[in-house]
Amino acid sequence: MKAQSWRQFLAPVWITMLAAAVGCGLGAQAPENGGQQLPFAENKPQVVAADTVIYVKLRRPVTAAAQTGQNFAAVLDEPLLVEGQTVAAQGAQVTGKVVAARESGRLHTAGYVRITLTSITLNGKSIAIQTNSAIAGGGSIKNRDFSFLRGGADTSLSRSFQATDSSSSSATGKKEAGFDTDQRIGFRLTQALNIS
């Protein structure tokens, strides 16, 4: 009698313990990658390093007649890459602003316009950027017109200088300072660009 009562008491306890053990075994799964943690690469932000050169072409000319603070539209003239991967395709929209501008005077006052980039549109989202500035100038001194480009990303631009006879200039007798739509302009990032 006593042996049977012990069996009756222990049977439910064994069944409960067996069910718990089986349940724990079913819930535990071995990692598929052999226990190694995979890098969280999908949400890793991409960073375009400072000093990266961004080449653009303007959608419309920007001249010395522009107002300081005026925005202008441009497009990337070549893809923007990070570790060989394209983060911004050629033709991506870029926005810039006029930092300063002054029209040429009648005598010795040269006109100029200075511009910089302020944002780039990626996947429908505008991302702020900071770049150096490029300056274009021109004027008329002693019946000769001149123009120059300075700044930007190409050191060759800082030394470019062109002089022409005033007879070849416009009817106003002065060379208009500015950037044309067919002109390729390079800007250097002054701060890293984080793309998430």
CATH number corresponding to 46-195: 2.40.128.260
DSSP labels, 111-166: EEEEEEEEEEEETTEEEE--B-EEEEEEEEETTEEEEEEEESS-HHHHT-EEEEEG
Cα–Cα dist 125/121, whole Å? 5
> What local confidence, expressed as pLDDT, does residue 175 receive?
57
Residue 163: what pLDDT?
A: 33
Spatial CA neighbour of 113 closest among 96, 134, 129: 134
In angstroms, the CA 170 to CA 146 distance is 13
Residue 137: the pLDDT is 85
Domain boundaries, the chain: 46-195
The b/e string for 44-68 (b: 16+ C-beta within 10 A; e otherwise) is: eeeebeeebebbbbbeebbbbebee
For residue 123, the model assigns a pLDDT of: 86
Cα(54)–Cα(76) distance, integer angstroms? 7
Nearest to 59 by CA among 35, 71, 75: 75
Kindly report the number of other CB atoms within 10 A of residue 97's CB atom. 18
pLDDT at 190: 96
Q: What is the pLDDT along the chain (196 residues), one digit of tens a residue?
A: 555 555 565 556 556 665 555 555 544 454 455 444 444 445 677 899 999 999 999 999 999 999 999 999 999 999 999 988 999 999 999 999 999 999 887 666 778 999 999 999 998 899 999 999 999 987 544 444 444 455 565 533 433 333 333 333 344 445 568 999 989 999 999 999 988 7
Phi (first) and psi of residue 33, to 5 degrees: -95, 20
Residues in the chain: 196
